[in-house]
Amino acid sequence: AVVSTQSGHYGRVCSSTMMIRAKLKKEICEYCSKNINIGQFTTECNKCHKIIHTNCYKISQFNCVNGLYYCSTCHTSIIQKYNPFRSLGIHQDTDSDKHYNIDITDIVSTANQASTILENCSTLTITELQSQISNNTEINFSTCFLNIDGNKSNFDSFVAEFSPLQDTLSVIGLAETNIEPSLQNLYPLTNYISFYQDIQPNKHKGTGVALYIHKSFNATKNSATSQTSPNLEAISVTIELSKKSITIVCMYRPPNGSTNEFLEEFQLLIKQLPPQNTYIMGDFNLDLLNSNDKNTSKFEEMFLSQGLSPLISTATLR
């Protein structure tokens, strides 16, 4: 071994004096308890940093949640979020973007914005929601949806529970009202105008959609995009704001209807809606967090292909 001396000269020393017998501490797979050797593929828990052989993944009870890997202990504390744009990653503008079609870069930018919204989605109490809306001056329009499971049984408790949000929400959508439009005046909300859609004939439960629009807005029901069928119930309203119009649709998919016919009817309805400033809320009775379900995949493909983007990523029914 050749080493440098303080005088700047070089000298040769016995190689044995330069050898250090270091005992390296090898990492251990948390599942099989065997050493993890150099070159072996590994998977690490994103929270506690436990590490396993990738070959042990399937039998280790590690889980992939929101695109990240967690051990069997940590994954139960992670809130699963739906985000079909996550795989696109975050795109940073570069000089090379000028060589691409502007429509493509616009699409990527829009997808990144949608992904950010979904990743930041969180569950709030009514008090927390009221505080966020009231204290954020950038929020000038807000919506809320609830499957009320029957006005007769639950409307009074709904009014009491949502009292802190009185005058805060711009639009409230309800599903499974079980109420004909002729009876809507029996269920008033102070400072809101109600719009009810016809329920399914000879059905007294599991039907009916409604919209409550704050009286500060000028709202008109759209008959062409309001419908009632065994597969899809929808009520559509256009709200005139100072500089633009907003279309709000409240939907309900009866679980005993045909999913394929629902998708066909939904697609036809979407094509009749304005391409911009359209918001759809509702209970579709499809689990978007279950990517293995064929009906869920068809639903996702359909609304994404029509230019619609989800705004909620956390489970709304547990």
Query: Which amino acid, 273?
Result: L
Determine the Cα–Cα distance for residues 195 and 220; give it in Å rounded to an integer: 9
> Which pLDDT belongs to residue 89?
54
- What are the CA-CA distances from residue 108 to residues 87, 186, 244 (Å)? 12, 48, 25
The sign one gets for the Cα dihedral 158, 161, 166, 170 is: negative
How far, in Å, CA of 50 to CA of 167, rounded?
49
Which stretches within 136-198 are classed as H helix? 151-161
CB neighbours of 125 closer than 8 A, spacing ≥ 6?
Answer: none
Query: What CA–CA distance (Å, rounded) separates 222 from 303?
Result: 21
pLDDT of residue 300: 92
Residue 28 has what DSSP assignment?
Answer: B
Q: Is 280 left (phi over 0), alpha (psi -120 to 50) or beta?
A: beta
Provide the residue-wise pLDDT of the chain in tens; the chain has 318 residues. Answer: 333 333 344 444 444 444 444 445 568 898 898 998 888 898 999 888 899 999 998 888 888 887 788 888 888 788 888 888 877 654 444 554 444 444 545 667 788 888 888 988 888 888 888 888 888 888 888 999 999 999 999 999 999 998 888 788 999 999 999 999 999 999 999 999 999 999 999 898 999 999 999 999 999 999 999 999 999 999 999 999 888 899 999 999 999 999 999 999 999 999 999 999 999 999 999 998 888 899 999 999 999 988 898 998 888 865
Q: What is the DSSP letter of 48?
A: T
Residue with tokens 């700047």: 8
H-helix or E-strand spanning residue 235: strand 233-240
Instruction: Return the pLDDT at 277.
Output: 92
Q: pTM for this structure?
A: 0.76
